[in-house]
Structure 1
């Protein structure tokens, strides 16, 4: 039988050993973890995580999981292969809050005003809907980052999420639904930073809707008051189509959004560039509450939130131009310039 004294000494050593360790990691929110001993999935994980941009065809190695719920744009609930359920915080990205107050200072160019905060919340809701549309009920692949812990503040898994071989985290940035999460040393900081910069430069997503040139003096987020008093916003400008612009005219587009509670009727309104190429919205061109409509430069059949200019060559200059919106009376109600 083991001596009681020796048993007590052994237990003491084990307790002391458990107190030693390296630096305490933070999670994707930059907070200190409450419980760094939370078990991690037992399935095999790659030693080097893979986070390919959406154009990549290779599928990442990692843990397969079923998405059983969406908390918001950057947090999901999953069921793991062993049947256990877990919550995943997407690494490297931060979508606007929907369950808490937004801080415009975290999103460069967004004014610290009620309008700025309201705009961010609206885009947080859009990011959540996007996550539901793209992930809910699907089997995704989770991969991890060598520079980050497996779990963070709330015991959530910190992971890259891949669906159909594409990086969902990265896609949030390219679509202007999130910013790069800067309070983290994750491996793909430079790539994610470049994606955010491109979205901001081109006014994609929340950057086109919420940001202004001088947030220090701004009092409102820029929008045009459409007939009926509803706010129309330019939400995205995509002048540089993939490949040769002349061969891919429908990938050159401008997206307009309705930030109000009533449907906007744009019939008779016009969109022009600095060279005075002009498109007139047809009868039936409407945007519902929190909806969008995208005007493509090329040809196609109008419908499902898409309109087609019918031009045979590019309209929007890749190195900079101005989108000019006029109402049915010919009055300029909204201008937005962009740089190449």
Structure 2
């Protein structure tokens, strides 16, 4: 099931938000390409003058042609800055989470360089978030339009956030975030907000975005796994995981990731144990990848109590992709009659399948250490052994957790 994130950043005060929401809509907009380059969809386009920057993803803009000089609160498409709690045109009065004030200052810097004039675009002129129009914004610097949102994500000031119906920017922003993470820019610097706790912990994040069956009825099949490959348990009380929107799950005091083990945060409801926690949400939150539906991926993020982003999983992988199993394993697939799928170690060394998954219409995940000796094979079942492979055509892949294909077998109308 495809999902897009609709819950957005904290708005201004209630009174201000209500006032801005009541303002008249802007005049009918002209159109332009949403993004530079061939193949871009068309977008409605407006211009305006920035009055002031509320935070790293919200600006107050006097929109040209809307019949009023009163600024409107405009929400940036495609980005999620960290939370700011005190808003002011005066920087010294602002307060917020680690990275929040830096994001606001970066937007101000870009707006100033563009002399306060912004070009705003949207695929759907009626797109809104909490009564705020959703717009991509660009400023003209040295004769060229610079995308504010892409700049924020690329330099680590904000996370990439997919929006329903506004997909034109997703692929570029996803790549921008992957590059920012690879370069450890700003919020991807894991001790920017302060050293520790457990600064040397060997943690990992794995988000299972596509639960077996219908995601909406299998909420607990969608989870975030915090793994620990170290020899000591890692206390994570006060740490939190989040999606690219505002939803977060905070670990209670006493929570820890066991040595060589993992803690799971399931999206739905349940009774917490030492290794299985429950977010308590009523709908799936992680976007499934579906290029035909303009859904290119998402992310899951682990923060420590200081606000440092300690680990994340961005999917599918776009930068520095790979697997230690590449060239060492293959798949054997029998799709007709009695189905059979095997993973085979073709190398002369043992291999560990942990952190990988066999994927077709369903998937089998290797969440714990699963070692194959040289020449050894392992049969895996999808959907509890039910018949799931289409004789007319399909493919089976061995993928990393972030969806990098290690090995693939196809038949008929399938394609690797």
TM-score for both structures, normalised by structure 2: 0.35
Whichever structure has more strand as a proportion of its residues is 2
TM-score with structure 1 length normalisation? Answer: 0.42
Higher helix share: 1
